[in-house]
Amino acid sequence: MPSHKRTHNTIHTTHTQHTLTQLHSQLTPLNLLHSNRGDSTYLTLFIMAGVALGVYVVGIPVLFGWLLWRYRARVEENEVRYWLGNLYYLQTQISWFEMVILVRRLLLAVLISVLPSDSILLPSLILVSLSLALLVQLWLQPFTLDVDNRLESISIATIFITFVVQFLLFINGTATSTSSTTWQITGTTRDILTVGLVIANLALMVIILVVLVWPFFKWIWKYTKLICSGKMQISLRMQQLRD
């Protein structure tokens, strides 16, 4: 190869490597943050994402894992079960069911994020996944408390109904925009379905919240009664001593 061609190739390779090095340095997260320094929204979202990653993705699982490991030999004690009972909410023989719940959530997230919204596979696979989840829940009844099993079944059924109604409304909107007269949902029917979905989901959230806080109020009521009865006994004893 002539010397001038080797020199040209060497210069071209050096220039390409220099360009790639500059591009790599510009695409690092730190430089991206500095390049968007003037955008306060980006900085706020970056901080919120970091905090959420540290608390929810790392902090809470590590904390719960440490608690489960720390008190693993005292699981059957009443004090431990009262304090950490929510971490032992599955029946012992099917404690693996937590992995089923995680796989179900991951599968739904992957289907919604990967498949296009106009794909016929998206609603079909989501409906199949929710139907199987509901059948498995009704069959195994994995939670130790009956109220938890009922709430899980109602939650899956509510998600199923919500998705079906939203999909029908989406199809109706698409048919209307394309001037298709095959079938259409009237405005009144659409409003009724939307209001019904909102009320159903809000009612479910309220029920779950009540179930969560009810043991706390029972605990307050129990110890309030004990304190009041103790004060009454003390007052009666003092009155007896005076007499």
Residue 173 lies in a domain: yes
3-state SS track over the chain = CCHHHHHHHHHHHHHHHHHHHHHHHHCCHHHHHHHCCCCHHHHHHHHHHHHHHHHHHHHHHHHHHHHHHHCHHHCCCHHHHHHHHHHHCECHHHCCHHHHHHHHHHHHHHHHHHCCCCCCHHHHHHHHHHHHHHHHHHHHCCECCHHHHHHHHHHHHHHHHHHHHHHHHHHHHHHHHCCCCCCCCCHHHHHHHHHHHHHHHHHHHHHHHHHHHHHHHHHHHHHHHHHHHHHHHHHHHHHHHHC
Residue 64 lies in a domain: no
Q: How confident is the model at residue 203 (pLDDT cuts 50, 70, 90)?
A: very high
21 has pLDDT over 70 = no
Residue 117 lies in a domain: yes
Mean pLDDT across the stretch 43-70? 80
Residue 159 lies in a domain: yes
pLDDT for the residue numbered 118: 80
pLDDT for the residue numbered 243: 62
Residue 118 lies in a domain: yes
pTM exceeds cut of 0.75: no
Q: How confident is the model at residue 65 (pLDDT cuts 50, 70, 90)?
A: confident
Query: How many domains does one find in the chain?
Result: 1
pLDDT for the residue numbered 176: 58
Residue 111 lies in a domain: yes
Report in angstroms the alpha-carbon separations of 233 from 41, 230, 237, 239, 242: 62, 5, 6, 10, 14
Q: What is the rounded CA–CA span in Å between residue 123 and residue 17?
A: 47
**Which among 211, 90, 99, 101 has a CA at the least distance from the CA of 144?**
90
Domain that holds residue 103: 91-185
Q: Lowest-pLDDT range, 51-55, 188-192, 211-215, 223-227? A: 223-227
Residue 221 lies in a domain: no
Q: What is the rounded CA–CA span in Å between residue 57 and residue 148?
A: 24
Residue 238 lies in a domain: no
